Chain A
Amino acid sequence: MQRKVALLGATGFVGGHILTEALSRPELDITAVVRNPAALAAHEHLTTAAGDVFDVPALTEALRGHHTVIHAFHPGRTSSPDEVYDQSVAGHEAIIAATRAAGVPRLVCVGGAASLMTPEGKEYIDSSHWDKEFDPYRNSILGTRALYYMLKDVTDLDWVFLAPSAWLRPGERTGVFRTSSNDMLFAADGTSRISLEDYSMVLIDEVVTPAHHRERFTVGY
């Protein structure tokens, strides 16, 4: 049976990979709600809809009738570092509100690693494991962490927050990875990483066969 899934952020860095993975699953029909539908190539299982996540009433209408919403929205490069946190949180609020109002039961969220616990008992963003290379993106990362804390108060949606490892970059779809609920994962070489391809596969698996409910989990090597 075909399952209708709405994807927010399909033209983004992570969302683009998620779209590719989703379209490889013939049982999914994807509706990409994007500001510029022309940016996406046509596909038999892809419908595009022009939309702005900040327009909650319109987003509600766009989401109606779907089984799952995938939240891969990020304010992106148009936002200044000072604005990105506020815009991220506003986007999270709008998406939660519209998903709820549209009666879509399942919300699958692209998360971040900031709130994962490190061996020293601190969240990654406050720990000695924090990579200084992420400093320029700190407000953006805090915005994604805020989503996790917002979701913890959401009891009427079947949400999941999939946190990647610290480094999320294009690579290979290996299918070999580990998962954890709260603890940051470190590979044998001491790095915390996951490819976008493997991350997307795990996320779409959660859409096809939900295994986590109202919880966060992470994936890494």
Chain B
Amino acid sequence: MKDGLTRRSFVVGATSATALAAGSGLPAFAQAKSFAAPLALLDARLAATSPDGSILLGDLVRQWQNGLRENVAASGAIALVRWDLALMLRQLGREARLSIKVAPRADGLFGVDISARSTPQLSTSKPKDASCNEK
């Protein structure tokens, strides 16, 4: 797997989340099922301030419970994290039934690619048994 999700791209903030996603070897997975740009997530221990468009991950469990889960499910995400948050993201993603790929990098960090949940096909046609409650 390519190591396209570089630490530099996060730390320097030279790229938007969308560009980051497009330029990475990892994110094709995240983008596949989503029309929205994947979120860029960054371990807060790797940067004091948030590079352009990225979300700093601190208390990940609480962030996940407070809305990050829904946002990731809707858009997918690419993360650059240390091993412990990679472990956490993998488990949180699995609990949310999202597809996840984790790739170790040469610098000891981990790239995590979480795919967006596919949007179910909505139908406006009347179900065949809809008449059962229409007496």
Q: From B58, which residue of chain A is reached at the shortest CB distance?
A: A101
User: What are 11 A-B contacts with C-beta separation under 8 Å?
Assistant: A56-B87, A57-B64, A57-B92, A57-B95, A60-B61, A61-B61, A93-B83, A93-B84, A97-B84, A97-B85, A101-B60
**In the complex, which residues of chain A have a beta carbon less than 8 angstroms from the beta carbon of B83?**
93, 97
Q: Could you tell me which A residues sit within 8 Å of B by CB distance?
A: 55-57, 60-61, 93-94, 96-97, 100-101, 103
Given the complex of chains A and B, what is the CA–CA distance between A187 and B92 in angstroms? 49
B129 at the interface (CB under 8 A from A): no
Query: Is residue B59 contacting chain A, with contact meaning CB distance below 8 A?
Result: yes
Expressed in whole angstroms, the minimum distance between the Cβ of B114 and any Cβ of chain A is: 14
B residues less than 8 Å from A103 (CB atoms): 59
Among residues of B, the one whose C-beta sits closest to the C-beta of A60 is B61
A61, A93, A101, A103 — most chain B CB neighbours (10 Å): A101
Which residue of B64, B87, B95 is within 8 Å of A97 (Cβ)?
A: B87
- Nearest-CB distance from B94 to chain A (Å)? 10
> Which residues does chain A contribute within 8 Å of B95, judged by CB atoms?
57
Neighbouring B residues of A57 by C-beta, 8 Å:
61, 64, 88, 91-92, 95
A116–B92 CA distance with the chains assembled, in angstroms: 37
User: How would you classify the secondary structure of chain A's contact residues: helix, strand, loop or mixed?
Assistant: helix
Q: How far is the CA of A96 from the CA of B59 in the complex (A)?
A: 15
Kindly state the separation between the CA atoms of A96 and B88 in the bound complex, as whole angstroms.
11
Contact residue among B60, B84, B91 (Cβ-Cβ distance under 8 Å from A55): B91
Complex Cα–Cα for A57 and B88 (A)? 6
Bound complex: CA A199 to CA B67 (Å): 45
Which residues of the other chain, A, contact B64 by a CB distance below 8 angstroms? Answer: 57
* Residues of B close to A60: CB separation below 8 A: 61, 88
The residues of A that contact B61 with a CB separation of less than 8 Å are 57, 60-61, 101
Task: Check A101–B59 contact: CB distance below 8 A.
Answer: yes
Report the Cα distance A220→B92, complex, angstroms. Answer: 42
- Cα–Cα distance between A56 and B86 once the two chains are bound (Å): 11
How far is B85's CA from A55's CA once the two chains are assembled, in angstroms? 13
Q: Chain B: which residue is nearest A96 at the CB level?
A: B84
- Is there an interface contact between B88 and A101, defined as CB atoms closer than 8 Å? yes
Contacts of A61 in B (CB 8 A): 61
Residue contact A56 to B91, C-beta cutoff 8 Å: yes
> 6 extra interchain contacts, Cβ-Cβ under 8 A, other than A93-B83, A97-B83, A101-B88?
A56-B91, A57-B61, A57-B88, A94-B87, A96-B84, A101-B84
Task: Give A128 to B91 CA distance when docked, in angstroms.
Answer: 43
Enumerate the 7 nearest inter-chain pairs by beta-carbon distance, A residue then B residue, closest first: A97-B84, A60-B61, A57-B61, A56-B88, A56-B91, A97-B87, A57-B92
User: A101: which B residues are within 8 A, CB to CB?
Assistant: 59-61, 84, 88
Bound-state CA distance A56–B85 (Å) is 10
Chain A residue numbers with a CB within 8 Å of B60 are: 101
In the complex, per-residue mask of B78-105: 1 if CB is within 8 Å of any chain A CB, else 0: 0000011101100110010000000000
Q: Mark B11-24, 1 if CB is under 8 A from A, else 0.
A: 00000000000000
Kindly list chain B residues whose C-beta atoms are within 8 Å of the C-beta of A93.
83-84, 87
Please measure, in the bound complex, the distance between the C-alpha atom of A97 and the C-alpha atom of B82, giving whole angstroms. 10
